[in-house]
Amino acid sequence: MSKKRILPATEKRNRRTENIDMLPTRKIVDLINSEDMLIAPAVAKENKNIASAIDMIVERFRKGGCLFYVGAGTSGRLGVLDASECPPTFGVSPLLVQGIIAGGKRALVRAVEGAEDLADDGAKAVIRKKVKAKDVVVGIAACGMTPFVRGALRQAKKLGAGTIFITCAPEAVKQLPAQIIINPIVGAEVITGSTRMKAGTATKLILNIITTTVMIKLGKVYGNLMVDLNATNEKLRDRSERIVMEMTNLPRTKAKALLRKSCGKVKAAIVMHYRNADYKQALQILDDCGQSLRKAIEITR
């Protein structure tokens, strides 16, 4: 007798929106918005698991490990997006957080049909990235069933890497090959199966929380200031100057001069100011303090 296939929540029909095509524009917008309001509370219910995932990642980063997101379609794109935003925001190497998407780079801008269906391809992608035991692999699949993602997680587990799975399908939880499972239950989509909507938004929220909190724990943030950013454009250069001005009470001209002396590194500039140090000395002070700006300047403030 064949085993009955369980339909994941992400593929079920949303009875609240089944007549959405008959509504006027404003009513459609209101209905979509009302469904979106269910997302944040669903994510909040997973805060304990999210915190456990963060602690795992921080622990392995401190041992020299890296973080890899693995997904297909929307899930894969969200992983790549989060990874790509870490270097400019927190000044980390592009290798620290990496995204793996089924179908490769082409799948970032155009759907690659069938790329997600082979578990072996997911395993091979993990091998190609040279994932090690000190790393963490986060599988992202709204439905929880994606073979590419499951294959990647199983391979990561064989290698001894930390494993985390993010899914919006409670039906899949018991079968997932991961140490930590984050399962925000956002319910059926506005358009049946369109997981770029509620599931995608929930995933983006979770990834934001994970990498932001990890970087806070690693000393990349002072208060709520982005003190390790890479000033790669005019907006970020202006932000760097404003952070130095706020932290030191210097006028903009002097903040600019200090940043020039610190090769544009905000943390170093602030340490130079408070510890009356040159650039090399400031870098050494930060290293001695585990890159914590708070520790580096607290004795002088």
* 252 & 288 share domain: yes
* Residue 212 backbone class (left: φ over 0; alpha: ψ -120 to 50; beta: rest): alpha
Residue 89 φ/ψ, nearest 5 degrees: -80, -40
Candidate list 35, 59, 113, 116, residue with the active-site label: 116
Here the contacts of 286-294 (C-beta below 8 Å, separation 24 or greater) are: 290/219, 291/218, 291/219, 291/220, 291/267, 292/219, 293/219, 293/222, 293/227, 293/267, 294/219, 294/222
Q: Is 46 designated active site?
A: no
pLDDT top residue among 294 and 106: 294
Distance CA 179, CA 53 (A): 9
Residue 6, CB-side half-sphere exposure with 13 Å CA sphere: 12
* 68 & 187 share domain: yes
Buried b (16+ CB within 10 A) or exposed e, 181-209: bbbbbbbbbbeebebbbbbbbbbbbbbeb
Query: What tokens appear for 82 in the block?
Result: 């989060």
Candidate list 35, 46, 59, 85, residue with the active-site label: 85
Contact, 292 vs 223, CB < 8 A? Answer: no
* 74 & 100 share domain: yes
Contact, 148 vs 137, CB < 8 A? Answer: no
Question: Which tens digit of pLDDT belongs to each residue from 168-204?
Answer: 999 989 889 899 999 999 999 999 999 999 999 999 9
* 291 & 210 share domain: no
* 132 & 25 share domain: yes
State which residues form the domain around 136. 10-217
Q: Give the chain's domain count.
A: 2
SS3 of 119, please? helix
The pLDDT of residue 2 is above 60: no
pLDDT, the chain, mean: 93
Q: Is residue 204 part of a domain?
A: yes
* 280 & 150 share domain: no
Question: Which tens digit of pLDDT belongs to each residue from 237-280?
Answer: 999 999 999 999 999 999 999 999 999 999 999 999 999 999 99
Q: Is residue 182 part of a domain?
A: yes
Q: Is residue 110 part of a domain?
A: yes
SS3 of 108, please? helix
Q: Is 18 designated active site?
A: no
Query: What tokens appear for 258 in the block?
Result: 């200090």
Distance CA 31, CA 23 (A): 10
Residue 298 has a pLDDT of 82
Query: Residue 107 — pLDDT band, cuts 50, 70, 90?
Result: confident
